[in-house]
Structure 1
């Protein structure tokens, strides 16, 4: 249960600085190019490995090595998210973007500590189920800060009060951090900051095929990143659905489908193994992007959007569960904060530096239908690399079985 709630705390800020902020800016009449550049707000998620050694080496003097950082960030996040509600993208886009950058930085720091905590607290045999619980909590938060936020903002509270309410939710999550247990085995932190910087990288890069594994992490969900970069804007402007329809179907129903996919992925991984799960789920999440092409070339219909969004999110949830399990399996417990931060930051490179800035010009030059066909092709290199490194991935499963 703690992993579920803490996963919720981890996922809450992301939509508020990405999809929900994108919808707010779209409704306020912000240009497509400026909306595309708002995706750069998430740069902190890509660069978080730079300050992860500080989280590995130091900790506030309460609640343990990982939970103290989580609690500190959650309190500051609650305040910062609430303050976002005091601004407007139409009148103060620059200041709102800067505040969103602060939220992303605090959220990325929380993620460093939470990812390390979950890696430390889970036994090897619990990794698949733990990954599914993390994704479940994360996606529940996306429903609240994505779909529910859109519905509340469009119908009940308005954007300002909706962001303030999200800040209250984050403050409540801090209570779960106070109640969460410590890991059974607490690894000793590096003795110096220099060791915290050097040793995690030296240990990882001493492994066979370290570079190609890092490239795999960048490429595995790249097609998904491109398809989702402006998905909210596509459904609003490109497909012609209303804000309430997008909130209910794309955010709430879609994220519920992701949860189903994540739970199914955790169950199937225990039978299929890590490599087969990554390959099967990766193929499914690539092919599911064709659904957006269908929406782009057919008249808007609520049921067709529900089917497309449901299938795409189930497949995405399957792939995410397997991907999180892969990141956990690659981490050494002594350096779990820095190594997980490095790996998860690399996974955000495609979403932040490629998909966000490149999607607007691609859409403007190719049109929505051709663009979504292109996203399927973008997923192919990651699957080819996964097949090439299949023996290394299977070896991670063998190590887990031996440890169990």
Structure 2
């Protein structure tokens, strides 16, 4: 088994010191061959992949890069899981509205257009919208929603309509949350014309049944429509295993790729190292800036009102609303990798390979490779 664990080390390191490490492992007492030893081999193998044994910052930068890649990998995996979910159509919502209000037909349910999972500008996502999606208008991209509206309240007034709505939802098997009250409009604080006590409120009720989620809005007076019902899909169960698998896979690939680039540039010319570092730092800034901007906003939104479905992971990462910085970051990182492909200077003859391995309690034949315990 330990021979397989040596795959955590870079290939050159395994060729140079693999036999010595395995000899050290065989000389250890059988009682020490356990999870601790396996984790020690993997941990120091991953560190050896980064090269630069005297550097501490390389581990920090590798972690920053790996975490960003893991989050984007998980986001893409969850997107694939969402893409396989059941698309929405207007006929399904029409059946729900008829079940809740058989005597009060709603208007403006829309046509029976193409079912969709994702939309941009209200239309099903297509390749024709790629430029809008990636180059500035990604904020218009969203999970599909179908809606129906009412020009008059079914029960005549908002209080009765709200009570009857919750009763009808419960009778039809919907789980409900809310109601949530919010101002119909905002005014400038401190303005003499601004009286918060006189601002009318909107009411929102959330409901879920099966894989359907309803957002039902009762608007303030003197508005048209006065009520609408929007339907979206609940989060598919496949999103969670897909996200975990995408996170772990992208993290492993990112760490190994960063380590390869780090070892390639370690003995390069000062200009090549400086250029690669600048491009890498620029790419990380362009990747992390949307995340650090968007994640707190989405978190505040989620804690401010009940949700049957959390916003998808890509929205937490600022995508695709802030896709332009992400794409520029990809170009910057690709340029940094391109510099590492250039032929590198070989270390002086007799110079040892970078990296070190520390196995707990190791002394003897393999101590040169394994080191002493700490």
**Normalising to structure 2: TM-score of the pair?**
0.27
Higher helix share: 1
**Normalising to structure 1: TM-score of the pair?**
0.25
User: Larger Rg: 1 or 2?
Assistant: 2
Q: Whose RCO is larger (CA < 8 A, sep 6+)? A: 1
